[in-house]
């Protein structure tokens, strides 16, 4: 068994084939998302691969190091792994995971990451023991995943209030459109930035994140909510292997009578999935079960299945981590 992190040694074609062929393969562990991260300011992708004695891939782990500007990097630099790693399903998978985690921790320390976090989008409970042995803590974290079958069945699962708001919005002339130029993405970003500043109160990626996603259209789509020839909301959706995800979403809710941009933005990927033979819409998170989270109540109304795949986290710099949590608390007011 050999652990390598040189993308050229692994080969993107082999990497892509491994992810495509694996039942749990997903966009967030793919070479496409790796290339996307390379174009984003303050984002640094890092690939770790486990090869057997014949040079065949037995496990893939794609992480990304995210840094804030200036002094904030001291307590906020983090290493994120979304929906990974992807491992062979065999008797050696525990050993593979152990080696991948050790290599990740070593690299994260070199990058001065304050913590490492695995955001699970599938059930990884059978590997929980391995994570704990490597010093990670587990915390519960909810999510909604919407199965895409027949439209009639989906509409029965969506709440009547949301269906009514969708209908009212459309009757008012609101449209769901795919962007045709970068200026429309800038309009979306301005709304999203305002939302994160005033309500979400969490760091938002640099503009380059959203620009890169638009330029790399093979990894997903934007759906914009337009009213009177103006962008009033939208959603950013990675798409891969029959799944479509909600990564970032916003809407100027309450500004127009009988117009519900956030509702329509959420409905847009479900509608697209129905029309294009996709099998799942993934909300990518619905908060901790022990914390009030109004957004979870909103997401619950779209007929998804509530799952609890949790998260794994390892704090590498406890003092910086506590300082960062305090700073975020102050920022949120």
31-49 per-position pLDDT tens digit = 999 999 999 999 999 999 9
pLDDT above 80 (res 330): no
- 293 confidence band (pLDDT: 50, 70, 90): confident
Residue 332: band (very low, low, confident or very high) from pLDDT cuts 50, 70, 90: low
Instruction: Give the model's confidence band at 324: pLDDT under 50 very low, under 70 low, under 90 confident, else very high.
Output: confident
Q: In this structure, are 71 and 159 located in the same domain? A: no
Half-sphere exposure at residue 36, Cβ-oriented, CA atoms within 13 angstroms: 23
Q: Are 227 and 172 in contact (CB under 8 A)?
A: yes
Are 134 and 195 within one domain? Answer: no
Domain that holds residue 266: 144-308
- H runs (alpha helix) in the chain: 7-10, 12-21, 31-38, 73-76, 93-110, 128-133, 151-157, 160-171, 182-195, 207-215, 261-275, 294-300, 318-332
Do 102 and 170 lie in one domain? The reply is: no
Q: Tell me how far apart the alpha carbons of residues 304 and 330 are, in angstroms, rounded to a whole number.
A: 34
In the structure encoding, which two tokens stand for residue 47, read together? 């690939």
Tokens of 7: 């993308």
Is the predicted pLDDT of residue 327 greater than 60, yes or no? yes
Residue 91 confidence (pLDDT):
67
- What is the structure's pLDDT at 213? 97
Regarding pTM above 0.85, the answer is yes
Cβ-based neighbour number of residue 153 at 10 Å: 11
Same domain? For 276 and 327 the reply is no
Q: pLDDT class for 328, splitting at 50, 70, 90?
A: low
- Do 151 and 282 reside in the same domain of the chain? yes
């Amino acid at each position: 068994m050999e652990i390598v992190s040189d993308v050229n040694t692994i080969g993107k074609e082999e990497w892509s084939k491994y992810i495509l062929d694996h039942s749990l393969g997903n966009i967030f562990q793919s070479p496409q998302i790796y290339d996307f991260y390379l174009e984003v300011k303050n984002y640094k992708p890092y690939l770790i691969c486990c090869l057997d004695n014949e040079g065949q891939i037995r496990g893939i782990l794609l992480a990304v190091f995210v840094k804030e500007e200036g002094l904030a990097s001291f307590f906020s630099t983090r290493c994120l792994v979304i929906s990974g790693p992807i491992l062979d399903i065999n008797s050696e998978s525990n050993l593979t995971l152990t080696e991948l985690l050790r290599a990740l921790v070593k690299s994260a320390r070199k990058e001065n990451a304050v913590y490492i976090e695995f955001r699970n989008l599938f059930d990884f409970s059978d590997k929980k023991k391995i994570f704990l042995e490597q010093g990670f803590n587990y915390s519960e974290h909810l999510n909604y995943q919407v199965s895409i079958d027949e439209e009639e069945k989906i509409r029965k699962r969506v709440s009547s209030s949301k269906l009514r708001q969708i209908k009212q919005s459309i009757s008012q002339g609101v449209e769901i459109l795919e962007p045709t130029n970068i200026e429309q993405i800038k309009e979306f970003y301005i709304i999203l930035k305002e939302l994160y500043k005033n309500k979400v109160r969490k760091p938002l990626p640099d503009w380059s994140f959203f620009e890169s996603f638009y330029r790399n259209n093979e990894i997903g789509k934007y759906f914009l909510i337009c009213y009177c020839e103006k962008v009033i909301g939208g959603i950013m959706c990675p798409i891969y292997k029959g799944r479509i995800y909600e990564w970032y979403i916003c809407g100027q809710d309450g500004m127009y009578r009988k117009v519900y941009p956030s509702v329509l933005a959420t409905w847009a990927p479900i509608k697209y999935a129905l029309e294009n033979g996709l099998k799942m819409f993934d909300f990518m998170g619905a908060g901790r079960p022990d914390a009030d989270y109004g957004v979870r109540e909103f997401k619950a109304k779209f007929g998804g299945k509530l799952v609890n795949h949790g998260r794994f986290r390892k704090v590498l710099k406890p003092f910086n981590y506590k300082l960062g949590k305090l700073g975020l608390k102050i920022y949120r007011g």
